[in-house]
Amino acid sequence: MAFIIRTGAIGMPRPLVRFAGLVQALLYCSGLLTGCTVVGPDFKRPNADVSDHWLDAEDTRLRASPADYREWWKGFHDPVLEELIQTAYRQNLSLHAAGVRIFEARAQLGIAVGNLFPQSQQVQGSENYNRASERSPSAPQTRQSGAVGFDYSQVQAGFSANWELDFWGKLRRSVESADASLISAIAAYDNALVTLTGDVAKTYVQIRTLEERLRIARENMEIQRESLRIAETRFKGGATSERDVQQALTQLNGTE
């Protein structure tokens, strides 16, 4: 709900001004006290059972020294892979959308925090000085004839503030919710980045593996062609049977 505090006095007696200020101070303090109440229990992170030791902790292939996993693909020392990942990082629309959602969540958090403060406030003041003759209609009747006259000042000062009091902790819970949304957006971005780099590296390794298998198959074909040529030469010379020739030919056809 909206709560408005206004102070100020125009021609009010001093005791009334003090009383009004006391009432406003009490209202302000009561607003602060009611704002201390929060609905619902605080979030508590659930305990996760994690083993103290890995099953393969004694494996010699594991390194005990910490490693930088942010750019793990550089461990392959392949400039082509590094360039592919950089290109995917710059051009992937899903990753860019996840990054934009981080900015959106951060802005929502700023709005939620801003709701805890006054949405509008105003300070005003004025002073009027008046000098009147004793013969004026507003002059006091107690003045003696021939008096010089009298003067007086009129001062007005005050402020106003308008904001929603957080009676039941709604605004603070909204701040917690916005903060959790920001953390979730950051985690989603990190997950998208890890998935992207993993997919690029996996596809690249598969392509390199197929290329290597193709190279090995071509070398085997050359070796099998040479074996077929030798078998045919030996068969023509009577050193072997036709069975060896057919076997070498079958192996070559299977590889091709």
- pLDDT above 70 covers what percent of the chain? 64
Above 60 in pLDDT, residue 98? yes
Residue 85: what pLDDT? 93
The one-letter amino acid code at 166 reads D
Q: Output the CA torsion sign for 217, 222, 227, 231.
A: positive
Q: Which CATH class is domain 70-116+170-256?
A: mainly alpha
Average pLDDT over residues 214-223: 86
Residue 2: what pLDDT? 40
Against a cut of 0.85, is the pTM above it?
no
Residues of the chain with CATH 1.20.1600.10: 70-116+170-256
Residue scoring higher pLDDT (181 or 34): 181
Q: How confident is the model at residue 247 (pLDDT cuts 50, 70, 90)?
A: confident
Residue 136: what pLDDT? 57
- Cα separation, 191 vs 41, in Å, equals 30
Highest-scoring range by mean pLDDT, 72-86, 113-127, 222-236: 72-86
